Structure 1
Amino acid sequence: MGGMKLRVSPPVFQGRLHDARTATSIGRWLGPAFAVCFVTGLVSHFMQHPPGWADAVPSRPVWGYRLTQGLHVASGIAAIPLLLAKLWTVYPRLFEWPPLRSARHALERLSVAVLVAGSLFELATGLLNTAQWYPWPFSFVPVHYAVGWLVVGALVLHIAVKAPEIRAHWTRRSPGTLALPTQDGSDRRSLLAAVGAAAGAVTLTTVGQSFTPLKDFLLFAPRHPDKGPQSLPVNRTAAAAGVGRIAGEQYRLVVAGPRPYTLTLDDLRALPQHEVELPIACVEGWSRSARWTGVRVVDLLERADAPPDARVRVVSLQLRGGYRVSELGRAHARDPLTLLALRLNGEELDPDHGYPARLIAPDRPGVLQTKWVGRLEVLG
């Protein structure tokens, strides 16, 4: 036994379609899905966490955030079956021997490892976020954002390393490539049709949460745009926010500015009322338009002698939560569609929708449409 040598042979994969042509074909769809998801994710992060120059955040078009966040979630969900199919086509390469053949090969495998791990992490955590389920100890938003950049960097590196092979297999009849057996071509078309159908099916059965004409096809989305108090979904209830039912006769709105003042609920109701139709668009992907009635924030600011370029800090009466305070940049603060809303679809606000008063503004993430508003602070 002393003269025997142990030889490890890599497994042999007999199945067809684990090849570069199939992987490239799926990549044609997966690449754009990732690109849309990443770009719209940047928009979402920018809108939720604007930099110091917050006035650069626009208030129009009113449906801007609804569109970009709907695309973000839809493209992420569509990418799930595409990524799984892509991994199926290339997984035999995990068993290549020797595992590292050169410095270039080591760089390629490192980029693939980071790309695969990061992509699975992003899609899995993003999907769980749509259901507001967070079975992890870290904060979702900053980690999801950071890993997104990591995935894009790994993807760029991977494409750079694999560019010659991708170029060779990009078209059906690329010059210089070997002719494929007839059966392989037929099987490849069947596989691609199945993958495309899977991506289309998961999109069709979830996108109705933001693209409401397709809401009747909703099967897997965690929110239906018509279900909730006053036919509008709610992410955070009054009980969860520690607010409960606020007595209208005890409510006071404090407007802190050059000329501060305080209003009761009856005072707010006595002011000129304006009705607007604006969507609530949440980061989880659902959105719904509604009719809101209330007092224009710009009118409240002018009464406080706020400067024309002033920003506004909006403070909620809720006791806990990461978004109990939000900030309006100049564009939103001065937009005539931005309201301190008192009514929803012709009815007094439900407590879960922010009774007695809530913020509603165009082109703004739902988490920043502050509910149970108790204070407006004019910022220089």
Structure 2
Amino acid sequence: MEDMKRPPEPPSPPPPSALPSSPLPSFSGRLHDPRTAVSAGRLLGAAVGICFATGVISHFLQHPPGWAVDVLPSRPVWGYRFSQGVHVASGIAAIPLLLVKLWTVYPRLFVWPPVRSARHGLERLSVAVLVGATTFELFSGLLNTVQWYPWPFSFVPVHFAVAWLLVGALLLHVAVKWPDITAHWRRTSQASAALSAEGDGADRRSLLLGLTAAVGAVTLTTVGQSFTPLKRFDLLAPRHPDHGPQGLPVNRTAAAAGVLPALSRVREWRLEVTGPRPFSLDLAALRELEQHAVVLPIACVEGWSRSAHWSGVRIRDLRERAGAPPGTRLRVVSLERHGAYRVMEMGSDYADDPLTLLALRLDGQVLSPDHGYPARIIAPNRPGVLQTKWVSRLEAL
């Protein structure tokens, strides 16, 4: 009876080994191990590498330095469409890869003390820059596809500069972590086999299978905006290749560009062409010139693209009529009064190409105002922002 009345003894204190070793939270869980981190990291590295390479191509086609204007090729006609489509698709695919990679390594982000040696400090620095730059690049790029810019800086130059910072941090991180990467790169390596023996092998395979499914799902539901055979699955992309005026998307409407007042006076419109023998043509006279038909894609930096039938006058024929010789580059001026791309320089390779037109019709119909009425540029292997709309002047340089 006395034992039953005795109050319960307080619980024993935890052993010293169970006490937290730092004031920060301690994390535990399966798959936060080097093998899983390497498996996710090599997939993320491949996606980031492809995204970076195609992004450099996109940047130099969109913003060529002066020495490269006459060097950039106009063929293949689908070149920019392919490289920019891959750029956006690989960037979107990298987002779930980044999230899983961070999940596998986040316990190590809170180790204490934060720096234990010079090598460890270098590793921590590379990780901080790498995580920050990768997160910024992927999510700012994603916002760019929907043309939402909730920041005070210009997207293109900052996005391009941070891409190089990302690559530098990635190379530094790989160099520091090379011993771990080589130890866990192959499933049959000794270190990976030891981890699998602990029972994580099946869980790791399930994680990677789910990751592959997630990457496949986001790719399938967005890539149709540029790879039109999959357009029926285009559920999450901000553009559908068939939606827009005359069945073709637009990024900048005539109203947004502020050209509607000028288009209301289209009877006064003249195409001015300068050169040794300058001339001007009204719309009726332009339509009387020899017309040519081409099938070329519009491919925008936001990732969408679609091929269409265009007809109009060859740029090289207009240049020749103005007395400018082959190999002469052109400056194209739009009716648009403001905007970064209202004036565009066209390299000699594009101006010489027989597929480069001053287009007057789209899919057999007169251009709508949103597609550049009364005349616009259409050229092969060219970013959409350089396919100038509402053209008013061609200058042979």
**Structure 1 length-normalised TM:** 0.96
Q: Which amino acid aligns with 2:388?
A: T
Q: Is the aligned partner of 1:154 residue 2:172? A: no
1:343 to 361, 365, 372: 361
Change (3 A) 1:182 1:108: closer
Post-superposition shift, 1:181?
3.1
CA distance in 2 between counterparts of 1:7 and 1:351 reads: 68
The aligned counterpart of 1:228 is 244
Post-superposition shift, 1:286?
0.0
Q: Which amino acid aligns with 1:144?
A: H
Post-superposition shift, 1:95?
1.3
Q: Is the aligned partner of 1:39 residue 2:53? A: yes
Query: Is the Cα contact below 8 Å between 2:28 and 2:107 reproduced in 1?
Result: no
The aligned counterpart of 1:113 is 128
Q: Which amino acid aligns with 1:51?
A: P
What do residues 187-242 of structure 1 show as CA deviations (whole Å, max 9, x unaligned)? 00000011111111000000000000000001110000000000000100000000
Query: Is the Cα contact below 8 Å between 2:32 and 2:105 reproduced in 1?
Result: yes
The aligned counterpart of 1:23 is 37
The aligned counterpart of 1:171 is 186
Q: Which amino acid aligns with 2:196?
A: L
Q: Is the aligned partner of 1:63 residue 2:81? A: no
Alignment of 1:178-327 (within 5 A): 178-181=194-197, 183-244=199-260, 245-327=263-345
The aligned counterpart of 2:8 is none
Identify which range, 299-308 or 240-249, moves more after superposition.
240-249
Which one has a bigger Cα radius of gyration?
2
The aligned counterpart of 2:382 is 364
What do residues 108-162 of structure 1 show as CA deviations (whole Å, max 9, x unaligned)? 1000000000000000100000000000000000000000000000000000010
CA distance in 2 between counterparts of 1:352 and 1:11 reads: 56
Change (3 A) 1:312 1:227: same
2:153 to 138, 159, 163: 138
Query: Is the Cα contact below 8 Å between 1:246 and 1:355 reproduced in 2?
Result: no
Change (3 A) 1:8 1:243: same
CA distance in 2 between counterparts of 1:56 and 1:196 reads: 40
Post-superposition shift, 1:14?
2.4
What do residues 268-320 of structure 1 show as CA deviations (whole Å, max 9, x unaligned)? 00000000000000000000000000000000000011122211000000121
Give SS of 1:16's match. coil
What do residues 70-92 of structure 1 show as CA deviations (whole Å, max 9, x unaligned)? 00000000000000000000000
Q: Which amino acid aligns with 1:211?
A: F
Query: How many residue pairs get matched?
Result: 374
CA distance in 1 between counterparts of 2:191 and 2:88 reads: 39
Give SS of 2:140's match. helix
What do residues 316-359 of structure 1 show as CA deviations (whole Å, max 9, x unaligned)? 00121111111110100010000000000000000000000000
CA distance in 1 between counterparts of 2:392 and 2:281 reads: 10
CA distance in 2 between counterparts of 1:304 and 1:80 reads: 51
1:8 to 22, 41, 51: 22
Q: Which amino acid aligns with 1:50?
A: P
CA distance in 2 between counterparts of 1:137 and 1:378 reads: 37
Post-superposition shift, 1:28?
2.0
Q: Which amino acid aligns with 2:63?
A: H
Q: Which runs of 4+ in 1 moved over 4 A?
A: none
CA distance in 2 between counterparts of 1:321 and 1:279 reads: 23
Q: Is the aligned partner of 1:93 residue 2:108? A: yes
CA distance in 1 between counterparts of 2:359 and 2:264 reads: 16
RMSD, aligned CA: 1.2
Unaligned runs of 5+ in 2: 1-19
Unaligned runs of 5+ in 1: 1-5
Post-superposition shift, 1:43?
0.3
**Structure 2 length-normalised TM:** 0.92
Change (3 A) 1:168 1:282: same
Post-superposition shift, 1:248?
3.3
Post-superposition shift, 1:9?
4.4
Give SS of 1:332's match. helix
| Percent identity over paired residues | 70
Query: Is the Cα contact below 8 Å between 2:332 and 2:345 reproduced in 1?
Result: yes
CA distance in 1 between counterparts of 2:349 and 2:264 reads: 31
CA distance in 1 between counterparts of 2:211 and 2:163 reads: 24
